[in-house]
Amino acid sequence: MRRPSWVPEGTDLDKPNAARVYDYYLGGSHNFEVDREMARKALALWPELPQIMRSNRAFLRRAVTFLAEQGVTRFLDIGSGIPTFGAVHEIARAIRPEAKVVYVDRDPVAVAHSRLLLEGDPASSVVQADLRDVDDLMARPEVTELLAEGEPVAVLLVAVAHFVSDDEDPCKLIGVIRDALRPGSALVLSHASLEGRPDQAEDHQKLYRMTPTPLTMRTHEQITAMFAGFDLVEPGVVYLPQWRPDQPESVGEHPERMTGVAGVGFRP
């Protein structure tokens, strides 16, 4: 049973946090020694992690740009973490200056950071909620307002669904979100895959199992299944660099080394 929401969760700065570790990989300083310690261990195991994170960030940038170009002006970024650079509202507003973004994260520090960053921005807001308690998330006033009558909404689950265990059933959670979306809305999803670097996958998951946010890497097929009820846009669910690259050559020779796969789908 989950704790009733009126019993607060504490902040635990003694444990590494996925959002701050991610920031460290990306060369940011929004992190503490515990985060860096964890990140260094991961890097020792898997030196390509910064590239992978950058590749993921680049996918986010291309996907948001693509959707903004398609006319999407509302974004729900679930698991937004600490936007070290290139936050969704910045990317979207380059094309759609009126773009509205609701950032959602379960980590109170990430949420507080986003609030500081977005102070005085009336078109964006930050919500502390947990994807795993999707009913609570979808019932937040900021979220219901974004999803209310009017424009379609792009829901971003970028590098976040792999923090949801099989027991917590990510497909079911995504299904709840999908059912609340009007036609023309989109799902942007990237996810650590088991196939890209099968040699690294187990050790990496083992390392994350020691953190409050264990990692569940999944197969291409399982990840594609998360798009049930969405029409995938070309090129479907592919390795991060393969998704609509800026230039054909920026895919690189080994896109599978970026291990993450990603896709964008529209709700028909």
Residue ranges binding another protein (CB under 8 A): 6-11, 13, 20, 26-32, 50-51, 54-55, 57-58, 61, 65, 82, 84-86, 91, 94, 108-113, 115-117, 241, 246-247, 250
Structure tokens belonging to residue 53:
């994170």
Report, in Å, the least distance between residue 94 CB and another protein.
Answer: 7
Report, in Å, the least distance between residue 90 CB and another protein.
Answer: 10
Report, in Å, the least distance between residue 9 CB and another protein.
Answer: 7
Residue 152 or 255: the one with the smaller Cβ distance to another protein is 255
Report, in Å, the least distance between residue 10 CB and another protein.
Answer: 5
State the Cα–Cα distance between residues 51 and 222, nearest whole angstrom.
Answer: 24
Report, in Å, the least distance between residue 48 CB and another protein.
Answer: 11
Whether 122 contacts 164, CB under 8 Å: no
Report, in Å, the least distance between residue 4 CB and another protein.
Answer: 10
Residue 111 or 237: the one with the smaller Cβ distance to another protein is 111
